[in-house]
């Protein structure tokens, strides 16, 4: 397999003489059969060489925590990959983690997290079904809450075998550890809310003590305490111009950015768009709004339609997936919401945006602020963005400088 990836005899010998060469070759051959591109297989081969030299495989099982710990040693990448392709430390660490996890899972050497076969699997699964069937929450919310519950259960001492044995001190210690790791007040508040929601559900089913739910407290967050962190409309225009290139990546990015900026879509809504959601004859696009639990139709803006048509004609890979936006490299698969956010972040960095947060949501904020500045009402903006509550739209009143100036200039002398 190595001689199919590399042409230099020294490089081939380096990989063949490395530890666990046969196991690495088997995994690379499996990935090649799955349709991975040649360039990706080369990157994976170099990372596997690092993994085999860094992770201790003498034990029968390797835990995810051991892999994550090994991935945080940037010196190992510079030392061992001096003959391989260069990459930033953060991207190398991410690739290290994903490649190591996939390889060890392929070999059957990856230790399952405690929650996959532990004492709390049944409770988390029941809570997932409750959020999906009875609460009707979005898939992203359900996945996030369950993932954070698994983090919490994995942090518990080994002697905690049932929820009745979990204490408030365990919850406080978990929240404190995340705060020490750099989590913001807002993130900690959401984390505490996720734990509180689970323990309310567990309390109703008599799985835990009644006192634990009331004692879970996160940092206090004041309503509307922050300003919307969105790009200016000038930055959005620069972003759209910079992505209007002729390559497949630019064509795809331009279509995604147009949808985010002009329709104010969320990253997940873009990633879930399917070919069947677009009615080209009636020039209508249908969006599934998980938070509203319904579909919403929009007229197809000509400039957005032209960008999407160009993507379908010149850049979209031919495959059986019905999702609109796909990865450009093999194996072709639908873009995730995280990939959409990463794409926007990279493009905003390229145009030297000064935003602290450069994700897809910053374009949603930019769309709302632009509509407000153009004279649209809060009701119209809320309908356009798919808000369930008017309070979500009032958030943008703090950036309505024209309206705020009118309030400041109001003469209230006769009333004082």
The verdict on 195 and 246 lying in the same domain is: no
Q: Is 223 inside any structural domain?
A: no
Per residue in 137-150, pLDDT tens? Answer: 877 788 888 888 88
Q: Is 221 inside any structural domain?
A: no
Looking at the predicted structure, is the pLDDT value of residue 174 above 60? yes
The verdict on 134 and 160 lying in the same domain is: yes
C-alpha to C-alpha distances, 408 to 364, 394, 403, 405, 415, nearest whole angstrom: 28, 18, 9, 5, 15
* Separation between Cα atoms, residue 32 and residue 42, nearest integer Å: 11
pLDDT exceeding 70 applies to what percent of the chain? 79
* Separation between Cα atoms, residue 305 and residue 259, nearest integer Å: 10
The verdict on 135 and 59 lying in the same domain is: no
pLDDT at position 251: 93
The verdict on 81 and 173 lying in the same domain is: no
What is the number of other CB atoms lying within 10 angstroms of the CB of residue 58?
6
Per residue in 89-125, pLDDT tens? Answer: 455 677 788 888 888 888 887 776 554 445 688 888 8
Helices 337-350 and 233-242 pack at an angle, to 10 degrees, of 100
pLDDT at position 79: 41
The verdict on 268 and 385 lying in the same domain is: yes
**All residues at 6 or more sequence positions from 243 whose CB lies less than 8 Å from its CB, including other chains:** 250, 253, 254, 257, 347
First to last CA, the chain: 84
The verdict on 239 and 293 lying in the same domain is: yes
The verdict on 180 and 99 lying in the same domain is: no
Residue at which a domain ends, from 111, 127, 160: 111
Residue 327: give its domain's CATH number. 1.10.443.10
Contact 38, 10 (CB under 8 A): no
* Separation between Cα atoms, residue 289 and residue 295, nearest integer Å: 6
Looking at the predicted structure, is the pLDDT value of residue 73 above 70? no
Q: Is 256 inside any structural domain?
A: yes
The verdict on 39 and 12 lying in the same domain is: yes
Q: Is 82 inside any structural domain?
A: yes
Q: Is 354 inside any structural domain?
A: yes
Residue at which a domain ends, from 60, 95, 111: 111
The verdict on 43 and 104 lying in the same domain is: yes
The verdict on 358 and 262 lying in the same domain is: yes
Per residue in 9-33, pLDDT tens? Answer: 888 888 888 888 888 888 888 888 7
The verdict on 145 and 254 lying in the same domain is: no
Residue at which a domain ends, from 46, 80, 111: 111
Per residue in 264-300, pLDDT tens? Answer: 888 888 888 999 999 988 888 888 776 666 678 888 8
The verdict on 99 and 123 lying in the same domain is: no
Region 180-197: what's the mean pLDDT?
Answer: 87
Q: Is 311 inside any structural domain?
A: yes
Residue 204: give its domain's CATH number. 1.10.150.130
Which residues are known catalytic residues? Answer: 266, 291, 361, 364, 387, 396
Q: Is 227 inside any structural domain?
A: no
Strand partners, 297: 286
Domain that holds residue 21: 2-111
Q: Is 226 inside any structural domain?
A: no
* Domains in the chain, number: 3
């Amino acid at each position: 397999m190595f001689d199919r990836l590399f042409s230099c005899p020294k490089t081939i010998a380096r990989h063949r003489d490395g530890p666990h060469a046969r196991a690495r070759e088997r995994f690379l051959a499996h990935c090649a059969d799955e349709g991975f591109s040649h360039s990706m297989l080369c990157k994976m081969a170099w990372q596997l060489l690092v993994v085999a030299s860094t992770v201790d495989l003498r034990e029968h099982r390797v835990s995810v925590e051991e892999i994550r710990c090994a991935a945080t040693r940037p010196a190992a990448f510079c030392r061992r990959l001096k003959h391989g392709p260069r990459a930033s430390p953060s991207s190398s660490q991410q690739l290290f983690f994903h490649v190591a996890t996939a390889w060890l899972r392929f070999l059957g050497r990856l230790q399952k997290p405690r929650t996959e076969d532990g004492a709390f699997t049944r409770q988390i699964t029941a809570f997932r079904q409750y959020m999906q069937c009875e609460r009707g929450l979005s898939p992203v919310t359900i996945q996030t809450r369950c993932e954070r519950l698994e983090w919490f259960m994995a942090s518990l001492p080994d002697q905690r075998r049932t929820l009745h044995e979990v204490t408030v001190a365990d919850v406080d210690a978990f929240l404190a550890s995340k705060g020490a790791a750099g989590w913001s007040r807002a993130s900690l508040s959401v984390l505490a809310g996720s734990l509180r929601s689970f323990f309310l559900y567990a309390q109703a089913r008599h799985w835990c003590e009644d006192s634990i739910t009331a004692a879970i407290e996160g940092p206090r967050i004041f309503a509307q305490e922050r300003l919307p962190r969105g790009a200016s409309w000038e930055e959005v225009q620069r972003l759209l111009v910079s992505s209007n290139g002729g390559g497949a990546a630019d064509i795809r990015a331009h279509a995604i950015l147009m949808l985010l900026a002009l329709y104010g879509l969320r990253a997940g809504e873009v990633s879930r768009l399917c070919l069947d959601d677009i009615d080209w004859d009636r020039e209508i696009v249908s969006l599934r709004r998980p938070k509203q639990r319904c579909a919403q139709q929009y007229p197809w803006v000509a400039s957005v339609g032209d960008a999407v048509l160009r993507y379908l004609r010149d850049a979209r890979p031919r495959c059986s997936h019905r999702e609109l936006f796909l990865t450009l490299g093999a194996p072709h698969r639908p873009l995730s919401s995280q990939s959409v956010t990463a794409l926007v972040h990279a493009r905003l960095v390229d145009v030297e945006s000064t935003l602290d947060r450069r994700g897809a949501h910053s374009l949603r904020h930019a769309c709302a602020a632009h509509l407000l500045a153009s004279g649209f009402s809060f009701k119209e903006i809320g309908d356009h963005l798919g808000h369930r509550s008017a309070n979500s739209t009032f958030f943008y009143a703090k950036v309505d400088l024209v309206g705020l100036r009118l309030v400041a200039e109001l003469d209230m002398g006769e009333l004082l």
